[in-house]
C-alpha cells in the first residue's frame, strides 16, 4: 500500500490520506460487531408489528420497511425506540 502512496503526485497525497482515514474508520466500525449486527437487521419483526398494530400479515411489509429505515436513519438503539416511532 505505501509503495503506491509514496509514488503519488503531491496533489494526490491529500486524497490518499483521506482514503486511508476512511479505511481506518470503516475498520473500526466493523470491529464493533454488535453494533454492525444491530444495523443489519430490524428490531421490529413482522409478528411484533402485527401484535402492536393489529394489521393483517399481508399489510405489514411496507410498515416493517419504514420502521427499519427509521432505525438506520435515526440510529435507533432499541425496540422501545422503534415502538415510540410507531406510536408517533
3-state secondary structure 17-34: HHHHHHHHHHHHHHHCHH
Look-up of cell digits 399489510: 59
pLDDT tens by residue, 2-13 = 555 555 565 678
Task: Residue 42: count other Cβ atoms within 10 Å of its Cβ.
Answer: 20
pLDDT tens by residue, 33-71 = 666 666 678 999 999 999 999 999 889 999 999 999 999
Of the candidates 12, 23, 67, the residue with the CA atom closest to the CA atom of residue 41: 67
pLDDT, residue 43, reads 92
Amino acid at each position: 500500500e505505501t509503495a503506491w502512496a509514496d509514488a503519488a503526485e503531491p496533489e494526490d497525497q491529500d486524497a490518499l490520506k483521506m482514503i486511508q482515514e476512511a479505511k481506518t474508520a470503516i475498520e473500526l466500525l466493523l470491529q464493533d460487531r454488535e453494533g454492525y449486527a444491530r444495523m443489519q437487521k430490524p428490531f421490529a419483526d413482522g409478528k411484533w408489528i402485527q401484535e402492536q398494530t393489529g394489521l393483517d400479515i399481508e399489510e405489514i411489509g411496507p410498515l416493517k420497511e419504514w420502521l427499519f429505515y427509521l432505525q438506520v436513519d435515526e440510529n435507533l438503539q432499541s425496540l422501545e425506540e422503534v415502538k415510540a416511532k410507531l406510536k408517533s
